[in-house]
Amino acid sequence: MTAPPASTSHDATAVPRSVRLSVVIWLAAIAMGAVEALVRLLLPEPPTPTQLAVRFAIYTALAVLVLALHTGRNAVRWAVAVLLGGIGTLSLVVEPLDWLLAGGSPTSFLATADGPTLLITALRTLHVAAVAVALTLLFRPSATRYFRSR
C-alpha cells in the first residue's frame, strides 16, 4: 500500500507559503500600529480612551480580515490590498510627508526627539516596510494562482 502524495506548493487547494507569510507580516504590521498607539500614551498629549478604543476596534477588524486571506477569496485579497496596503499606508505617510514638505529637518528631529517619539518613528518605519513586504507577497505568482483557483 502506498501513501497518498504529499501536498506540494503547486497544490491549488493548499495555502501557498507566500500567502501564509503575508498573513504573518500583515498581523505584525497591525501589532506595530497597536504598540504605537500605546506608546503615544507617553506623549504630552496622549490619545483619549475613546480614541484608543476606536483604534483597537479597527485593528481587530483588520486582523480578522487578514486572517480571512486563508479562505482564498480574491475579494478578501483585494480588500486587504486596498484597505491596508493603500489607505492604511497613506495614513502612515501623509503626516511625515507633509512635515518634510513644510521644511522639516530629519537631522534636527532626530537630535531633539524624546524616547517615545523616536520609538514611534521606528515603529512607523518598520510598519510601512512590513506593509510593503506583505503586499508584495500577496501578489506573488503562487498567491495569484491560489486566489484564482478558489
Mean pLDDT, range 102-122, rounded to an integer: 95
Angle in degrees, 0-180, between the axes of helices 115-138 and 89-101, rounded to the nearest 10: 130
- Give the model's pLDDT for residue 9: 46
Asked whether 76 and 26 are in contact (CB, 8 A), the reply is no
Tell me the pLDDT tens digit for each residue of 7-65. Answer: 444 555 699 999 999 999 999 999 999 999 999 999 999 999 999 999 999 999 999 99
Residue 98: which H helix or E strand, with range?
Answer: helix 89-101
- Give the model's pLDDT for residue 1: 56
- Give the model's pLDDT for residue 150: 79
- Give the model's pLDDT for residue 125: 96
Length of the chain: 150
Q: What would you measure as the largest C-alpha separation in the chain, in angstroms?
A: 73
> Is 18 exposed, middle or buried, given 0-12, 13-18 or 19+ CB atoms closer than 10 A?
buried
Mean pLDDT, range 1-7, rounded to an integer: 50
Mean pLDDT, range 62-89, rounded to an integer: 97
For residue 53, the Cα-to-chain-centroid distance in whole angstroms is 19
Quickly count: other Cβ atoms within 10 Å of residue 90's Cβ. 10
pTM of the model: 0.87
- In Å, what is the CA distance from 142 to each residue of 6, 12, 47, 148? 18, 9, 41, 10
| pLDDT at 2 > cutoff 90 | no
Domain boundaries along the sequence of the chain: 17-149
